[in-house]
Amino acid sequence: MTAARRASLVLSGVSLVLGLAGVVVARELAFTAARGEIILGLGVSFNLLGALLTIALSILAITGALLGNRAVLLSAAGGFAIAAVQVLAQFGRDTNWLGSRGSNLSLFLALAVGLWSLAWLDRHRTG
């Protein structure tokens, strides 16, 4: 396994853990509650939809890394980029589908940029 794929697994593994923690802390909130529950004082917050979406995108990224499939990895990166745009559009407003805050913007941006960069590196090495 290449270093890029191992790094992709680390990134997506961290986001999977955060998504799972999100399900635990947000279990009593409404599915799309505008104010999500914060995980361990880290600033990242989720409602159930936000946590489940993070889990789904993380599993997609893990699958892409394990299979060495750049298209799948890039799809996950694109999903996290869209989630970052959701924060910009809805954070601090009455409607906030993912229950997210500014910290989620930072997290989703890191996942989108990180996975995209690693997919680029894998392509560069094999291409």
Binding site for another protein (CB under 8 A): 3-4, 7, 38, 41-45, 91-93, 101-103, 105-107, 109-110, 113-114, 117-118, 120-121, 124-125
> Quick one: 63 or 103, whose CB is closer to another protein?
103
Contacts of 105 (CB under 8 A, 6+ apart): 84, 87, 88, 91
Cβ 2 to another protein shortest distance, Å: 10
Cβ 48 to another protein shortest distance, Å: 19
> Quick one: 56 or 102, whose CB is closer to another protein?
102
Which residue, among 1, 56, 55, 51, has the nearest Cα to 27 in the 3D structure? 51
